[in-house]
Chain A
C-alpha cells in the first residue's frame, strides 16, 4: 500500500493525540530538570553539609529521605545530584550528538573514501567498551566532570554517526536532493538545507534515548570512582558510597537507584513519545 495513507486533498494535518508515553516521559523529564535547576538556588539543606551526629537516619526521621553516613541530607544530595548527573549527561550527549552528526552527515554527503575511513574510525572507537575507555581516560586526564563528559561523549559519537549516516543517506536518495543539486547547490549547502532538517527528528529521538544511557553510564563511572570530584554529589557516587550500608541503611542505595531509574525511564518514554510524534512511519499503522 503506497498511496492510500497520504492525504488526497489539502487538508490541514491533524495533530496526533498526545500519547501517554510522551506525557509521562515529558512530565518526568520536566520535573527532573526543574528539580535540578531548583537545586542550584535551593535545597532543603546544603547538600554537602555534614552532621556526623545525625548520620544514617532513616527517611522522615531526619529529612525527607534520611541522611547518609556523614549525616548529609539525602533529599538535598539527590537534588544536587540531579543537576550534576543531568548536566553531565546533557553536555555529553550534545557533544557526542554534534560530533557524531557532523561525522555522519559528512560521510553521507561525501561517500567514497571519506565515508569508508570515518565509518571504520567509528568502528575503532566503538570497539572500546565505554567503561574501559572511561577508565583509561580517567587515568589520562584525571577524574572529574570534564572527563566524565568526554568519556561519555566519545562513545556517543559512533552511535550518532551511524544513525545520522544511515538517515542522511536515505535523504540523499530523495528526489528533492537531486532537485537541489540541479539547482547547483553544493553538498554542504544541501546538507544544511535539506538533510539536517529531515533527519532532525531521528536525532532528537536518539538524543532523548541516549540521555538515558548517558545517565546510566555516568552513574557507572561514579560508581567506579571515575565521576565528578567530591563533595559534589552524584547519584552514582551516592550509590557507590551506599554499598556497604545496604544491610543497615538500605534507603541510601534505594534513593539514588530510584532516581537513576526514574530519569532513564523518563528519557526513554520521552524518546518513544517523540518517535511516535515525529516519525510518520509509525503513525499510519495502528
Chain B
C-alpha cells in the first residue's frame, strides 16, 4: 500500500495513444467475442479489424493535424515520443493492417480456416510496430519489436496444413530470436556506454560527455550489435537470408504484412535510433549503412534474377527495396539531408505496392497457396487482362518507372542521397535497380508474351479485388500527383530533442 502511495506515476497522454488503445481494445474484444459468442460470424473478425485499423488511421490523422503546429514531444517519462514521424509511420502501419486483413479474410475463407486469432495477431503486431516507431526508450523499443516479432512468427507458422508455412515460422523464429539477442546485447552495451536506455537520453548523454576516452569501444560495439539486430529486421544483406524463405513460406497475406508493416516498423526504429540517439556518432555508422545499402540492393536484385517463383521473386525484390531505403537512411545520417523524409515516403509507397502485389499473388496462388511459380503467371493477360495490367503497373512501379509511385519513391531517396553528396551509393542503387528490373520484366513477359498453361477460371475474391484496385489507383495517383504525399512527408520530423 505504502508503495502505491509514494509513487507518482507519469502523465499518460491518452489522446496520443488512441491508435494503440483502439487496437488493443479491438484485440481483446475480438478474442472475447470469438470465444464467447458461439454464433460469432466469420466476417465479424475482419470487420472488427478493419474498423480498428481505420479508426486508428483517423485518430492518427487527427493527431497529425494536431502535431502540425506542435512538433511533438516525449511522453510517459520519456518512454515514447509522439511526433510527426511516429504518427506518419502509424498511419502506414494501419494501412498495412487494413490491407493485409482484407487479404487474410479471402485467404482464410479459401483455406476454410477460421478463428479470430490471426486477426488478433495482426492487431497485436500493429501494436508492437506502433510501439516500435514511437519508442523513445531502447527497452520499450525492444518490447515493441518482440511483440511484433512474436506475432509475425506465429502468423508465419499459422497455416498448419502447409509444411512450408511451419518451416517458415520456425526459421523466422530461430533466426529472429538470434538477432534479437544481438539487438539486446547492443542495447546493453550502449547502456553501458551512454548510461541510458532512453533514446533522447542517449542523445543528450553522448552530446554532453564528448568522451574522447574509453567508453567509445563499448558504445561503438554496442551500436554495432544494435545495427545487427536492426539490419536483420529490415533484411539488409547479409542479414537478409531468412527473408526469401519466410516470405515464400508464410501465408501470402502475412507476407504482405511482414513486407509492409514489418519493414516500416524496423526502418522507423532504425531511423530513430541512428539519427536521434546516435546522431552524433553518424560518422561511425554511416559507412556501415552505406555498405549495407550497396550490398543489399545488389544482393536483392541479383539473386532475384534466376528465381522461378513469383512470391520468392517479390521477396528478393523486397530486399532490394530495403537497400533503397537504406540509401535514404544513409542520407538521413547527414544533418542537412532529408533522408528521413524520403525513407518514410519510400516506406509508405512500398507498403501500397507490396499490398497490391501480394494481393495479386494471393489471387492466383490457388487453394493450397502454392501456385506461385512463373508458369502459373503465364498468359495471365489472356486469362484476366485486368489482373495482368494491374500487376504490370505494380511491377513497373517497383522497377521505378515514371508516373508510378515507385518512381517517386526511388527518386526521393536518390535525391536525398545526392543532396548530401553520396553519389556513389546513388549510382550503385540505380545500377542495381536496373538489374532488379529484369526480375519484373520476367514476370511481365510471362503474363503478356507467353501462352497460358492452364485455362482454369481465376476467381478473385472481392476483398482482394478491393486491395488490388486501391493499390493500383494509389500507385498511379501518387505517381502522377505525388504532391500531397511529399508535402506530408516533408513535415516528418522527430520530436525536438
Q: Do A and B come from one complex?
A: no
